[in-house]
Structure 1
């Protein structure tokens, strides 16, 4: 079970690396469109520098034709390292690109997955991750949990190295439901991680322990006893 951070903000990445057990970072075209156009690649390199060579960095292709998509993929892999995952939308053209890039040994994330059949086709084409868009599916009255369960079950049955990567979350409950449904990985916005630790009951429990300790030992720590 893995956790990825869904952001292109360098400060958020740096903070998460300090506090959360993240396996990598996912970006998307919307995030990157907020940057100055000429600075996109250098910004991605800055993310890579922060997370190191051992963590995953997911970047989606923006070209629409097969040949240019493949050239984009080679460029990203060369510039950003071996642990770069090329995100490719699961369309007919996308499946053709996934198949070729996977045969070349590149790491592929099948993106914009809304259905079980999309996930199956992406798996068979060689994708390493199948990115299921959880909240967007719910908004379309698609049972996201069922799709994840079906894909996870197929992966288990076929002992595939592919993982279901759940993305696009509105709240913490969707994240935990995605994991419970069988997602091997979830990519989560930083603010949702903070929300998961912000319950008043957590703060109260920590304060209660501190108050009880102080009554007996004052400000001493375990190092002094």
Structure 2
């Protein structure tokens, strides 16, 4: 499973990129607002840091506007993936951009039928929002299983990009459900390496090493 980082903070991205664990980046208007920086400038900088897909979202609501904005975003760098909302106009724009060879990420997916439409519209990625479904008392992970089953049955190449991930447990469940990608906040990514038994084992090893009086 690929790891994308859900942030527009370039300092965080640079630090995480040194691990070799980051396959791509997702951004949205809210994350750009949090960065306090110019949108195009931020996306261009991120694309220089990360060679993988970098999602940049349109803000137009009509298909023609989305196409126009999508082309502008794609011109920023070769690894930009244009992020589109899962609306009827978003699907039209997805088809148009995909036909032009521009990668798309269809976002705000909350049903298997929506995911089916996005795949037929040529989306490279579909972004089901797990956490937001969980907030409504719906099993968000069940949606990942349904999309995986549909895509496998019909051979769709659209990648399942699990979004709105809130915890390490979400990441594990997504991996088991067959999600192609998990887009994760930096804090959650770092938490994946943590376990109390690891900490205890390391402390024990170091105590024994100190007792030998040796150095490496």
TM-score band w.r.t. shorter chain: over 0.9
**1:223 matched to which residue of 2?**
none
> Which consecutive residues of structure 2, in runs of 5 or more, have no partner in the other structure?
none
Tell me the secondary structure at the aligned position of residue 62 of structure 1: coil
Match of 1:177 among 170, 173, 176: 173
> CA RMSD for the aligned pairs?
1.6
Structure 1 residues 79-118: aligned runs within 5 Å: 79-81=76-78, 83-118=79-114
**1:73 matched to which residue of 2?**
70
**2:48 matched to which residue of 1?**
49
Q: TM-score, normalised by structure 2?
A: 0.94
**Matching of residue 11 in structure 1 with residue 7 in structure 2:** no
CA contact (8 A) 2:9 2:35 kept: no
**CA distances 1:66-111 after superposition (whole Å, capped 9, x unpaired):** 1111111111111122x21111111111111111111111101110
Structure 1 residues 131-150: aligned runs within 5 Å: 131-150=127-146
CA contact (8 A) 2:98 2:122 kept: yes
Q: TM-score, normalised by structure 1?
A: 0.90
**2:183 matched to which residue of 1?**
187
Structure 1 residues 160-175: aligned runs within 5 Å: 160-175=156-171
**CA distances 1:176-202 after superposition (whole Å, capped 9, x unpaired):** 112212211100001112222233322
